[in-house]
């Protein structure tokens, strides 16, 4: 597979990731990539225009704290540098550099990953974002009950069930994980426990929180499959 073909496939993956992990199905983007090819579409999208504004799709990823799956993040990757001019790469970097820090995914040190505990210090706040922590939703008893009545007690990532593994002592034991990135929680946000919360075992819960914003369930499953393939 050539570098250009690889880039094209990665562009198609962006559509899938944005849809399944952020809930933004960029159909216009998908049609453009299929019609013109990933490389040509990206070059056109990077052209600076008078009164140019950030594209709707890019803004949706910014709002969700997931610019790591944007076209711009793909363009600046070293393996694709040969496909673009310096001007095009600079434009992609400028768009990425122009976003607020909260919209960037950061690696969380292993000794800081405690998804079952409230973090010390003041609550997170950025602009209009509510002064709450994701754990506030994860530890809400009523929300937890509603989540588990819908999804059950199997880990959404690895399918582990504590009762099946440990017997009676593991009955109804499971963590719940809040899927919605903190950066998207606004004043008018109302928790939908059946949609926004998902049951996960403590191990998978900790691994989801190794990035900020957290990894999605599908991302962590993909990492597990990739790691398992290495063991073959």
Both 91 and 64 in one domain: the answer is yes
Both 151 and 179 in one domain: the answer is yes
Both 84 and 157 in one domain: the answer is no
Both 133 and 223 in one domain: the answer is yes
Bridge-partner residues for 199, per DSSP? 176
Both 185 and 145 in one domain: the answer is yes
Alpha-helical (H) ranges within the chain are 3-17, 27-36, 38-45, 56-63, 71-75, 86-97, 134-138, 141-151, 162-166, 193-196, 202-208, 217-230
Both 91 and 124 in one domain: the answer is no
Read off the pLDDT of each residue in 110-126 and give the average, rounded to a whole number.
44
Both 8 and 99 in one domain: the answer is yes
Residue 29 pLDDT more than 50?
Answer: yes
Number of structural domains, the chain? 2
User: Of 72, 103, 134, which marks where a domain is finished?
Assistant: 103
Nearest to 70 by CA among 100, 103, 115, 102: 103
The rounded percent of the chain whose pLDDT value lies above 90 is 37
User: Of 103, 134, 150, which marks where a domain is finished?
Assistant: 103
Both 77 and 133 in one domain: the answer is no
Residue 121 pLDDT more than 60?
Answer: no
> What pLDDT does residue 101 have?
67
User: Of 103, 130, 152, which marks where a domain is finished?
Assistant: 103
| Domain that includes residue 152, residue range | 106-230
For the chain, the distance separating the N- and C-terminal CA atoms, rounded to the nearest angstrom, is 23
Q: What is the pTM of this model?
A: 0.51
> What pLDDT does residue 201 have?
93
Both 124 and 225 in one domain: the answer is yes
- The Cα–Cα gap between 130 and 186 comes to 6
Read off the pLDDT of each residue in 113-133 and give the average, rounded to a whole number.
42
> What pLDDT does residue 53 have?
45
Angle at 199 between CA 195 and CA 205, to 5 degrees: 115
- The Cα–Cα gap between 22 and 29 comes to 15
Both 113 and 224 in one domain: the answer is yes
Lowest-pLDDT range of 122-131, 183-192, 202-211? 122-131
Residue 51 pLDDT more than 70?
Answer: no
- The Cα–Cα gap between 108 and 211 comes to 5
Both 60 and 158 in one domain: the answer is no
Both 172 and 220 in one domain: the answer is yes
90's enclosing H/E stretch is: helix 86-97
């Amino acid at each position: 597979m050539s570098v250009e073909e690889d880039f094209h496939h990665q562009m198609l993956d962006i559509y899938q990731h944005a849809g399944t992990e952020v809930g933004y199905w960029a159909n216009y983007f998908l049609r453009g990539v299929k019609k013109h090819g990933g490389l040509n579409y990206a070059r056109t999208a990077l052209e600076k225009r008078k009164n140019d504004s950030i594209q709707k799709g890019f803004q949706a990823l910014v709002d969700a704290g997931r610019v790591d799956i944007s076209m711009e993040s793909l363009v600046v990757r070293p393996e694709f540098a040969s496909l673009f001019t310096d001007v095009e790469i600079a434009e992609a970097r400028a768009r990425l550099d122009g976003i607020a820090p909260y919209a960037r995914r950061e690696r969380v040190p292993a000794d800081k990953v405690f998804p079952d505990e409230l973090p010390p210090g003041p609550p997170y706040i950025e602009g209009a974002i509510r002064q709450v922590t994701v754990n506030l939703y994860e530890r809400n008893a009523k929300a937890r009950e509603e989540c588990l009545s819908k999804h059950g007690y199997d880990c959404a990532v690895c399918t582990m069930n504590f009762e099946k593994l440990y017997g009676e002592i593991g009955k109804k034991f499971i963590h719940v994980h809040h899927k919605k990135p903190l950066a998207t929680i606004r004043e008018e946000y109302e928790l939908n426990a059946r949609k926004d919360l998902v049951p996960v075992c403590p191990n998978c819960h900790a691994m989801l929180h190794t990035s900020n914003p957290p990894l999605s369930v599908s991302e962590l499953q993909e990492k597990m499959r990739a790691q398992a393939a290495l063991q073959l």
